[in-house]
A = this chain, B = another copy of it.
Amino acid sequence: MDTGWVDSLKFDPNGLVPAIIQDHRDGEVLMVAWMNRDSLLDTLRTGKTHFWSRSRGKYWMKGEESGNVQNVRSVYFDCDRDVLLFKVEQVGGAACHTGHRSCFFTEATGEGPRETAAPVFDPAKVYKR
């Protein structure tokens, strides 16, 4: 696999780029997380999304605890080479730790925020911590 393009990316001062995760079937944006060079290379090597957690200061593979891994179908970078986009197959049908399919389940309407979707799993039964 040619990964030379990774060195052409513009990582931020913390060595990170945002990664948009999109359902490969219908284009729904499932989540956004951050990758550094190593988590991106792990993602390309394994075909499953890996990230760097800014809040926890550690690597994580999406689904490592819940089983809801993301199988990468295609990878894109933007014209400025500072944002990544992954089209994935979302195992388990839900990407969000709240149990929702997408992390973007709250719409900010003119009358205020409202949830646009119900959870598809119970986080208390999936996450043991």
Contacts and interface: CB of A to CB of B under 8 A. Distances in A.
Interface in A20-38: 20, 22, 26-29, 31-32
Interface of A: 1-2, 4-5, 18, 20, 22, 26-29, 31-32, 44, 74-80, 83, 85, 96-98, 100, 103-113, 116
> How many copies of this chain are found per oligomer?
2
Contacts of A111: 2
A78 B104 contact: yes
A79 B105 contact: yes
Leading 10 A-B pairs by shortest Cβ distance: A27-B27, A78-B103, A2-B112, A76-B104, A75-B108, A79-B103, A32-B83, A1-B110, A85-B104, A5-B113
